[in-house]
Amino acid sequence: MRLDTDPYLARYAARVRGMSASEIRALFAVASRPEVVSFAGGMPATSALDMEAVEQVAAQVIRDHGATALQYGGGQGRAELREQLATVMHHEGIPGHADDLVVTVGGQQALELVARCFIDPGDVVLAEGPTYVGGIGALVANQAEVRHVPMDADGMQIDALEEALAVLEREGRQAKYVYTIPNHQNPAGVSMSVERRHRLAALAETHDLMVLEDNPYGLLDFEGRTWPSLRSMIPERVIYVGTMSKTFAPGVRTGWVAAPRPVRDKLVLLREAADLCPSNLTQMIVETWLTTQPWREQIKRFTNVYRERSEVMLAALDRAMPAEVAWTAPQGAFYVWLTVPPGIDTSDLLAKAIASRVAYVPGRGFYGDGTGGDQMRLCFSYPPTERIDEGVDRLGELLHTELELVRAVFGDTTPPLRARSSQRGGSVGG
């Protein structure tokens, strides 16, 4: 995977204020070299996919149903696929019925259609801070005001959410919805505790709130555990977004929304105006994958790869990082969220990192308000373990050097350096 086709890094770079198109191109020209280890893109390990099976599935779809697979389809997506996607939800213990689902171009289109459906310019959406770049992108494109709710190792801090709701009330406003990624959050790599899910559900009832529950990673728990969904607690208040990008493959661009009927109908109309219909071909490939292949086994295979890579990354961080650096300890999915001491700016550091042959996404990309300059996201899902070791060593060396510079300028104690977090349940906040 070349970095110049890495949508996460590209999107981040486009958001960096003051970085010109030619500077970004120059950065990518270096970053695309094979010797650079990329922890940037949130890319699944497609190499762990049973490619022979996928080839057979695609050939079978075209051989047996080519005239349908290559034709237009309906805007809601194929009923046969929606049945299967409901089965995927049930596998995670989430209620879902084919009729309530709208098939989308990955989870991203789901997030954007929901934003388009609900947001008038200036409307407030509450979201975890940090949160998914593309989620912010969908909100910003629809001129929402994103207000972040801080997180810790147990996910979104519900006390802080209550405070944000109180502030809105004092302003005479209401949040259009709360956007959350409760499971193995991107980018923080933490999950919302069960107790907080119940508190969030209760707050939604008392404050008449909609919740956008974005769940790309729920099935990628390293121990195979599942968490209770918000959809199961307050079904009429939740718009649920799923995707096959992480449990099968992003290349089929297949996600979905599950929503109460009136919302579902509006989403179908919006999607028809947006791109008419999803691809029958990729829909039927996913459908056939789910009906004829051992997809639960494939998810286990993915999860084993990610668990091993996360262990290698956490061990490498322990070994290579300065004592003042803190990070979270994921129990599923793709991400470690890392906080550097004051005096280091992760946006400024990116060019040096790439020159040192390692890439990450700077923290500011995951906030809508310009904060996060002392944070970065490391994604361990894509590089093989020996590359992870190399990359973390390079990043550690760079941060050691930077810290020496900071100390040379500010002295040993100013600005104050933070104590190192424990690995399990490390710090998320900036």
Which residues make up the interface to a copy of itself (CB under 8 A)? 1, 4-7, 10-11, 14, 21, 41, 43-44, 46-47, 49, 51, 54-55, 58-59, 62-63, 66-75, 78, 104-106, 108-109, 112, 134, 137-138, 140-141, 245, 249-253, 265, 269-270, 272-282, 285
The separation between the first and the last C-alpha atoms of the chain, rounded to the nearest angstrom, is 30
- Report in angstroms how near the CB of residue 1 gets to a copy of itself at its nearest: 6
- Report in angstroms how near the CB of residue 221 gets to a copy of itself at its nearest: 22
Place of tokens 């668990």: 307
Q: For residues 285 and 316, which CB has a smaller minimum distance to a copy of itself in the complex?
A: 285
DSSP symbols for 109-155: HHHHHHHHHHPPTT-EEEEEES--HHHHHHHHHTTPEEEEEEEETTE
- Report in angstroms how near the CB of residue 263 gets to a copy of itself at its nearest: 14
- Report in angstroms how near the CB of residue 66 gets to a copy of itself at its nearest: 4
CB atoms within 10 A of CB 376: 31
Q: For residues 62 and 315, which CB has a smaller minimum distance to a copy of itself in the complex?
A: 62
- Report in angstroms how near the CB of residue 3 gets to a copy of itself at its nearest: 10
User: DSSP assignment, residue 334?
Assistant: S
- Report in angstroms how near the CB of residue 203 gets to a copy of itself at its nearest: 28
Q: For residues 143 and 401, which CB has a smaller minimum distance to a copy of itself in the complex?
A: 143
Residue 213 makes CB contacts below 8 A (sequence gap 6+) with 180, 182, 229, 230, 231, 238, 239, 240, 241
H runs (alpha helix) in 208-279:
230-233, 261-275
Taken in order 365, 356, 25, 254, the sign of the CA dihedral is: negative
Place of tokens 């100013």: 414
If phi > 0 it is left, if psi is from -120 to 50 it is alpha, else beta; for residue 422 that is beta
Q: For residues 229 and 283, which CB has a smaller minimum distance to a copy of itself in the complex?
A: 283
Q: For residues 94 and 144, which CB has a smaller minimum distance to a copy of itself in the complex?
A: 144
Q: For residues 5 and 304, which CB has a smaller minimum distance to a copy of itself in the complex?
A: 5
CB atoms within 10 A of CB 379: 25
Q: For residues 252 and 350, which CB has a smaller minimum distance to a copy of itself in the complex?
A: 252
- Report in angstroms how near the CB of residue 426 gets to a copy of itself at its nearest: 28
Residue 163 makes CB contacts below 8 A (sequence gap 6+) with none
- Report in angstroms how near the CB of residue 31 gets to a copy of itself at its nearest: 13
Helix %, strand %, coil % of the chain (to 5)? 50, 15, 35
Q: For residues 51 and 167, which CB has a smaller minimum distance to a copy of itself in the complex?
A: 51
Q: For residues 106 and 330, which CB has a smaller minimum distance to a copy of itself in the complex?
A: 106
CA distances from 58 to 75, 139, 279, 288, 371 (A): 22, 35, 13, 8, 44
Question: 86, 101 in Cβ contact below 8 A?
Answer: yes
Question: 183, 191 in Cβ contact below 8 A?
Answer: yes
- Report in angstroms how near the CB of residue 234 gets to a copy of itself at its nearest: 26
User: DSSP assignment, residue 329?
Assistant: -
The one-letter amino acid at 220: L
